[in-house]
Amino acid sequence: MDGYICTVKQQDDIKFAQDALYVLTGKWRMQIIISIYNGQHRYREIARYLPGLSFAMLSRELQIMELNVLVSRTEDPDFPKQVSYTLTDYCQSLYPLINNLISWGREHRETIKLTHQQNNDK
């Protein structure tokens, strides 16, 4: 662990980390953020982009994300009613963290894969 510095010194720091994890965790939340980031702004576009995600679960996740100021919801007053979602500036501040999570996840998969290969070779 040379070169890594952990600055967690207080219980409050752990609470802040837990808050961040709560907002980002769940099977679909990160995928919804990436879907909207990639241009799927309407409700049905997001649903199509994420097969396996039910409309009820998408609705619930978007409501939670709206409460946590990650997305903003806009209703088109015309008929038929269209709802679109955009990532807030606050959510966009997560991009460096998301990129770091992706890098760490990629490295983690490789580490686990190599470890299992080495264990199987014994």
- How much is the pTM? 0.77
Residue ranges per structural domain of the chain: 11-88
Q: Please determine, looking at this structure, whether the domain spanning 11-88 carries the CATH number 1.10.10.10.
A: yes
Q: Which residues of the chain have pLDDT under 70?
A: 1-8
Residue with token string 């409700």: 43
| CA distances from residue 32 to 20, 54, 66, 107 in whole angstroms, order as listed | 16, 12, 12, 23
pLDDT the model gives residue 120: 83
65-85 residue pLDDT tens: 999 999 999 998 887 888 899
